[in-house]
Structure 1
Amino acid sequence: MSPHPDLEEIMRFDPEDGIANLDEHLDRLKSAAEAQGFKFDRHAARNELQAATFGKRRPATARLLLSPTGAMAIEVTIS
């Protein structure tokens, strides 16, 4: 097990409104990343989330994983 497990943020997506409380989610992720010494690019995270949810027509859950190096993985699951 690595000394720093990935950070995780789970967000609700609505096709009409986008990701609920996106700025708050990104703020929380940024704070956690800084506290643990992770690299985090807020602008890239926003772009990746928008790309991952683009064209989705049903409510979904977006799960963002952030590694210590700043690498991101996003999973979108239809609700």
Structure 2
Amino acid sequence: MKANILNLLFLAFSLTFFSACGGEQKQNTEQTEVNQEQAALYTCPMHPEVTSDKPGKCPECKMNLEKVADAGSQEHEGHAH
């Protein structure tokens, strides 16, 4: 009887521990995505030396600043994988 109770307690603890770990990883992934969004860099297509951390207009030619592709992102246009 005591062995069954101990086994049930161990099972309950194990399930709680492993389910909590999965939720934390999901939260960390969402936070990483938010940080990457905030770390975006914008530049002018005509004046690449003009950069900003938020969208806006180029002070030299008044064109819209465009988001620079992240070094880690892999955009594959024109072909499929």
TM more than 0.5? no
Q: Shorter-chain-normalised TM-score: which range? A: under 0.3
- Return the structure number with greater strand share: 1
Higher relative contact order (CA 8 A, sep 6+): 1
Structure index of larger Rg: 2
